[in-house]
Amino acid sequence: MLQSIGSGHFLSQIIIAGRSFSVAVLRVLAAACCAVLVFAFVPARAETITVHAGKQDTASYAFARQFAEALALAGNGAYTLVVEESQGSVQNVMDVNRIDTDYVFIATPGVIAQAQRGDPPFDPNPHYGEVRALFPIPAQVLHWVVRADGKIRVFADLAGQPFVPGSKGSAGERVTSEVLQVLALDKTVRLIDADIAGAPAALKDKQIGGFALAGSIPAPAVVELAGAAPIRILGLPVAAIAKVRALDDNTAAMVIPKGTYKGVDYDVATIGLPSGAFTTIAMTNGLAYALTKAFWTQQAELAKKNPAWRMVAPSQLAALGVRVHPGALRYYNEARVPVPAELR
> What pairing do the DSSP bridges indicate for beta strands 162-164 and 79-84?
unpaired
Q: What is the pLDDT of residue 19?
A: 43
Share of the chain above pLDDT 70, in %: 87
Whether the pLDDT of residue 92 is over 50: the answer is: yes
Q: How confident is residue 76, by pLDDT bands cut at 50, 70 and 90?
A: confident
Across 170-190, b (16+ Cβ under 10 Å) vs e yields bbbbbbbbbbbebbebeeebe
Q: Quick: pLDDT tens for 122-173.
A: 999 999 999 999 999 999 999 999 999 999 999 999 999 999 998 888 888 9
Whether the pLDDT of residue 8 is over 60: the answer is: no
Q: Is the pTM of this model over 0.85?
A: no
Whether the pLDDT of residue 36 is over 90: the answer is: no
Q: What is the pLDDT of residue 121?
A: 94
Whether the pLDDT of residue 269 is over 90: the answer is: yes
Domains of the chain (ranges, CATH numbers) = 2-40 (no CATH), 47-137+275-343 (3.40.190.10), 140-273 (3.40.190.10)
Q: What gap in Å lies between CA 203 and CA 72, rounded to an integer?
A: 42
Q: Quick: pLDDT tens for 44-69.
A: 456 899 999 989 988 899 999 999 99
Query: 29: Cβ–Cβ under 8 A, 6 or more apart, which residues?
Result: 21
